[in-house]
Amino acid sequence: MYDAIIVGSGPAGSHAAYLLVKMGYQVLLIEGRKTPKQSINCSGIIGLEAFREFDLWEVPILNRINKFKFISPGGKSFIYQSDSDLALAVDRSGFDSYLTRRAISAGASFLDESWVRKILTDENEVKVCIQAKGRSFELRAKVGVIAVGYGSSLLKMVGLKSPPRYIEAVQAEVYGSGFDHTEVYLGNKVAPGSFAWLIPLGDERGLVGLTTEKDSFQHLQFLSHKLQAEKDISRVTNLQHSTIPLGIIPKAITRRILVVGEAAGQVKTTTNGGIYYGMIGAEIASQVLNKAFQQNRFDEEIFHEYDQLWRAKLAPEIQLGLKLREIYSLLSDSRIDMLFNIVSMDGLLPIIKKNLNFDWHKGLISSLISNPLIRRLLSVKLQG
């Protein structure tokens, strides 16, 4: 019997496996897809804080992110340039492979092309039913960590709920020239209630994508035409569609089970980035599991600390991001244009520079909201 079976080798699952194995536990990491994963729908932008905190320096970097051009619906723009790198763009498949290899090198057992079809728990163990290469079998552990991303039926199977809402995310690779820095497009034609992006990856390659509540393909089509008219784009390829959770699950624990990463809603609701928050979730889960193993107790009460700690760290950001989205989604294109005027003309860029943190947005949101013009434009009070 394993100490822990972790289902899903995304950043949250592989990181949890690595941490638990380093603590001396016997861990099995199970992944449904073939590894290395061929293609993952993700832009791979990860803040520097995650690199420092989780020692990710061996991951191959595609680009350094320190300059953003924001473009309004009416074509107004401003550039935000940071004095140092804010984030790094990685090849997401390579990133996942690195994290999985790191867990395996530390001593984790690993199965890929193995789908977990069922998870059953009782007082003594967790049993996972696996389907792999035409055969079915069962494996057992003291605890199970569900790290399957958004939209899996495994949560329901163990009596837990999925995140309450989601947003659609579409992205494609573009080839051409003129991709100098990251561009962020706002407006109801490109991405109602959200934003679209063009991220240069070097070698005349980039990623174009957007998140929005519905009709994401139509909006991407609109954006692609707009970009093709403005830039020298020779090819748009590898179009992918996914959903990203908006909001957290009411409970991420049950007897012998913890849920980490996107499956728990550990995702920034401002930018929809989930890699860093999911890895934070994995860190907290592994610390609480360590205590549980030491006490040989795997009931809900001992796991309660996990639910408390990760919520205390991530929920205020996630909730504020949701509130901001709600308000922003009510803005007409002309109001978004007015917002651009305020930001570029009212000396707000230094304030943004001072308060911008790639992963934690409460400080920046509070400082912007304290500007009377922005407050009036949004006609609301955002509470921390």
Ligand X SMILES: Cc1cc2nc3c(=O)[nH]c(=O)nc-3n(C[C@H](O)[C@H](O)[C@H](O)COP(=O)(O)OP(=O)(O)OC[C@H]3O[C@@H](n4cnc5c(N)ncnc54)[C@H](O)[C@@H]3O)c2cc1C
Pairwise CA distance, residues 276 & 368, whole Å: 24
Q: Would you count residue 13 as binding ligand X (CB under 6 A)? A: yes
CB of 304 to ligand X, least distance (A): 21
Which amino acid appears at position 308 of this protein?
Q
Choice between 38 and 296, CB closer to ligand X: 38
Q: Would you count residue 262 as binding ligand X (CB under 6 A)? A: yes
Site for ligand X in 265-294 (CB under 6 A): 267, 272-276, 278
Q: Would you count residue 9 as binding ligand X (CB under 6 A)? A: yes
CB of 376 to ligand X, least distance (A): 33
Q: Would you count residue 126 as binding ligand X (CB under 6 A)? A: no
Q: Would you count residue 261 as binding ligand X (CB under 6 A)? A: yes
- Torsion-angle region of 304 (φ positive above 0: left; ψ -120 to 50: alpha; else: beta): alpha
Report the chain's terminal Cα–Cα distance, integer Å. Answer: 46
Q: Would you count residue 59 as binding ligand X (CB under 6 A)? A: no
- Torsion-angle region of 271 (φ positive above 0: left; ψ -120 to 50: alpha; else: beta): alpha
Choice between 72 and 243, CB closer to ligand X: 243
Q: Of residues 144, 163, 200, 209, which one binds ligand X by CB under 6 A?
A: 209
Please classify residue 36 by burial: count the beta carbons closer than 10 Å to its beta carbon, then call 0-12 exposed, 13-18 middle and 19+ buried.
middle
Pairwise CA distance, residues 26 & 12, whole Å: 18
Q: Of residues 3, 22, 36, 41, which one binds ligand X by CB under 6 A?
A: 41
Q: Of residues 4, 8, 186, 257, which one binds ligand X by CB under 6 A?
A: 8
CB of 132 to ligand X, least distance (A): 10
Collect all residues with Cβ–Cβ distance below 8 Å to 14 and sequence separation of at least 6: 29, 96, 99, 100, 102, 103
Q: Would you count residue 43 as binding ligand X (CB under 6 A)? A: yes
Q: Would you count residue 248 as binding ligand X (CB under 6 A)? A: no
CB of 268 to ligand X, least distance (A): 7
Choice between 270 and 272, CB closer to ligand X: 272
Length in residues, the chain = 384
Choice between 121 and 242, CB closer to ligand X: 242
Q: Of residues 152, 162, 254, 269, which one binds ligand X by CB under 6 A?
A: 152
Q: Which residue carries 């790639």 as its tokens? A: 358
Choice between 29 and 368, CB closer to ligand X: 29
The per-residue DSSP string of 165-226 comes to EEEEEEEEEEEEE---SEEEE-STTT-TTS-EEEEEEETTEEEEEEEESS-HHHHHHHHHHH
Site of interaction with ligand X (CB under 6 A): 7-13, 30-33, 41-46, 115-116, 147-149, 152, 154, 169, 171, 209, 242, 244, 261-262, 267, 272-276, 278
